Structure 1
Amino acid sequence: MELLKVSLDNYIKPEYFYSGFFIMKNVDYIIVGDGYAALFFAHQLIISKKSFVLFSEEKKSASQISAGIINPVVLKKFTTFWKAQEQIDFLKMTLQQIEEYTKENYLIEAPIHRIFHDEKEQQLWLKKCENDDLKNFLDKNFDRLNGVKNDYLSGKVSQSARLDVSGFFAGIFKFLKNGEYIVKEKFNYTELNVSESTYKNFKYKNVLFCEGMGVKENPFFADIPVNPNKGHHIKVELSKPIPGNITIKKKHFLFPLNEKIYFYGGTYDREQLHHQIDDSAVEQLMNGLKEFYPDKFSLSEVNFGFRPTVKDRRPIIGRHHKYENMYVFNGLGARGILNGCYFSKSLYDFIENNIPLHEEVSLDRFKPSGL
């Protein structure tokens, strides 16, 4: 895929004008949210020289504490998913574009190594290697990993990697702050004047909601069918570091954050949805790590977040059925990086170029008959 060069010469900032006694700001877009959906769509606006303002709360979103795994394979059954290759290619191009204005590379080339539980998994992996949709993702050569138990070896996922999550958000937020794109406050729906297309002192052409599970408080899109999936991860200090900067997967993902601290997670829970740490989830993670890490380790931190998931495992993107300049981008699930990046362009083309959304991700697939 050819890289679209990004020029930030004369990039767009809000225009000011007087309305009565108030100074208003003209923007093409208001974005509500600060996770992957919001930032990847903001990137589309930056490279297209559209003016916008992004509303970000002070608390960290589920995206900001995510693992950052970039993975084209479902590692439980060794299958892939819809548009996996296209999403991988588009993400790599997009991260190169983002590097041009943040001056940082956030792609960590650390492929996933899936530890096999038994010989049956080895044979299944080799069988799946012959499938047209998987042959570019599953390496036929097995590896023996140092520093962990892997009696049945491991398989490498080609084209897998990680995103430097903390660096990604810090770098883009810094750029947004310097460009006067960001407002650090909770969006107040009652101050949105949909008939005048204004919010406080902003006059907008379009408003986009990218709020994750926060959408349940949104009076315009509260009924979209996203369901919370609670995920825990832990940070641990290993007594003996694992050689190489790799990502190891058995039940969960393990990878280094620095020389001492490792990330391990995450869990999936649709039942225990309270806003507190679940001891059972922490125990599950500790036991999962003990299965393949033979040495001592200590727990240093526990985090959890709520992934917005959809029953058909597709994002929800589209226009409000009543307000023509109001949109939603949600339901990214566990593949927030790939879904957020790839479908941000689909949404942008839908709004700006009237290119129809694919029916599998369109909000219209949930529209009641007759609307």
Structure 2
Amino acid sequence: MIKDYLIVGQGLAGSFLSWNLLKRNKSIIIVDQNHKNCSSLAAAGMINPITGKRLVLSQRCEELLPYAKEVYHELERHFKKKFFESKDIIRLFNSEQELDEWEKKSQQTHLKKYYGKKQDPGTYEDSLNDEKGSFVIQQGGYCRKLDLLNCFTDYFKINNLLVSERFDYDDLKIKEDFVEWKGESFGCVVFCEGYQAQDNPWFSWLPYNHAKGEILTVSNKDSFLPDAVISCGKWCIPIGDGKYTVGSTYSWDKFDCKATDEAKEEILREIGVFIKASFEVAEHMAGVRPIMKDLNPAMGRHPEFNSVAIFNGLASKGLILGPFYSNQMAEYLVGVQSLEKEVSIDRFIKKHF
């Protein structure tokens, strides 16, 4: 009997897509080597509606953010576990330009729900170097992505949907309208491999621009930091019990998941500029963000093989993009809707295939 989908990779992209296909009563098998080289493990988990030096609203935030929150609430009800934590984000001003941007944007009606109050210099003088002041970003927070991935993994295992091994491309046989893998037949294989897609024989032609990133879990049970995410170039997320996730770094010249002393020193040095606390490093993680050159996700079927597809390129925003685009990908796979032009890999065919 032919199963509907073979999903390769069980990071955020593969997990969200698998969940959406199961909701549509599709039969699936997932192949993942116990999250080895999984970029999702090194994701910060922060969901921030206001980004960049110009304090702009994150792309399609007013559509994507409420959608993501509703999906997390749905998953919380199913797994009976808390994943999304609403938190204010204290954004420290770095320059007069940022102050000017806040003055302009905070008056725009559609942005007021995200732009909280401006805070005077020295508001957090006991814990932060906030000599230029700060403002509060509302509607943000963070997702406990490791708890989420572990719940997905356990669910897939219990239901005999997860094969824990390395996927070998040589084991996949492409037929006219289906694929075979290790003696089983599937209507379609969907690759959700993150940065490893650059070595995929069917999708290596896509224009990738991956970036390695590293984060730390640190502890300081005696600090008096505010109960909020703190952002000033680098960021600090309180995760409870005197622990924080801090980061992150960007590197475009080496794609591996090995933690480096150089990145650790950079993170500790730069958060030390705006946080008046010393930290002990409890954990150090590294991953490679799967990024396309135009910064949009890569979704769709192979231009020659209809039974081979990809869902990739969620970059550093998998926790806000994943819920929305995995639903769109599932709808596309089952033939209910087409993909947006901005995310379909068809946009790359003429120049790169």
Superposed pair shares fold, TM > 0.5:
yes
Aligned residue number for residue 238 of structure 1: 220
RMSD over aligned CA atoms reads 2.1
1:162-209 CA-to-partner distances (Å, cap 9, x unmatched) read 001121111111111111111111112111121152211322112110
Cα distance change, pair 108–164 in 1 and its aligned pair in 2 (3 A): same
Give SS of 2:350's match: coil
Asked if 1 retains the 8 angstrom alpha-carbon contact of 2:31 and 2:166, the reply is yes
Of residues 137, 145, 150, the one that matches 2:130 is 150
**Counterpart AA for 2:147:** G
**Counterpart AA for 2:272:** K
Cα distance in 2 for partners of 1:265, 1:134 equals 27
Asked if 1 retains the 8 angstrom alpha-carbon contact of 2:216 and 2:246, the reply is yes
Cα distance in 2 for partners of 1:116, 1:244 equals 16
Cα distance in 2 for partners of 1:256, 1:306 equals 23
Aligned residue number for residue 151 of structure 2: 171
Cα distance in 2 for partners of 1:96, 1:255 equals 20
Cα distance change, pair 230–202 in 1 and its aligned pair in 2 (3 A): same
Number of residue pairs matched by the alignment: 347
Of residues 305, 315, 331, the one that matches 1:349 is 331
Aligned residue number for residue 88 of structure 1: 65
Q: Which moved more, 1:200-209 or 1:31-40?
A: 200-209
Give SS of 2:150's match: helix
Aligned residue number for residue 191 of structure 1: 171
Q: Which moved more, 1:108-117 or 1:237-246?
A: 237-246
Cα distance in 2 for partners of 1:219, 1:60 equals 18
Asked if 1 retains the 8 angstrom alpha-carbon contact of 2:9 and 2:192, the reply is yes
**Counterpart AA for 2:323:** C
Give SS of 1:291's match: helix
Verify: 1:205 aligned to 2:187, yes or no. Answer: yes
Cα distance in 1 for partners of 2:114, 2:184 equals 46
Cα distance in 2 for partners of 1:232, 1:243 equals 22
Aligned residue number for residue 260 of structure 1: 242
Verify: 1:315 aligned to 2:324, yes or no. Answer: no
Aligned residue number for residue 102 of structure 2: 125
Give SS of 2:280's match: strand
Considering Cα pairs closer than 8 Å and 6+ residues apart, tell me whether 1 or 2 has the greater RCO.
Answer: 2
Matches within 5 A, 1:279-290: 279-290=261-272
Residue 245 of structure 1: how far off its partner (Å):
3.2
Cα distance in 1 for partners of 2:352, 2:311 equals 23
Cα distance in 2 for partners of 1:90, 1:149 equals 35
Cα distance in 2 for partners of 1:182, 1:77 equals 43
Cα distance change, pair 152–345 in 1 and its aligned pair in 2 (3 A): same
Cα distance change, pair 106–239 in 1 and its aligned pair in 2 (3 A): closer
Aligned residue number for residue 49 of structure 2: 72
Of residues 76, 83, 89, the one that matches 1:106 is 83
Cα distance in 2 for partners of 1:231, 1:370 equals 27
Cα distance in 2 for partners of 1:65, 1:57 equals 16
Give SS of 1:40's match: helix
Aligned residue number for residue 31 of structure 1: 7
Asked if 2 retains the 8 angstrom alpha-carbon contact of 1:213 and 1:227, the reply is no
Cα distance in 2 for partners of 1:265, 1:68 equals 11
Cα distance in 2 for partners of 1:31, 1:273 equals 23
**Counterpart AA for 1:55:** V
Question: Which structure 1 segments of 5+ residues have no match?
Answer: 1-16, 18-25
Paired-residue identity, %: 27
Q: Which moved more, 1:152-161 or 1:295-304?
A: 295-304
Q: Which moved more, 1:230-239 or 1:63-72?
A: 230-239
Question: Which structure 2 segments of 5+ residues have no match?
Answer: none
Aligned residue number for residue 232 of structure 2: 250
Give SS of 2:57's match: coil
| Structure 2 length-normalised TM | 0.91
1:313-369 CA-to-partner distances (Å, cap 9, x unmatched) read 111111111111221011111111112211111111212134221111110000126
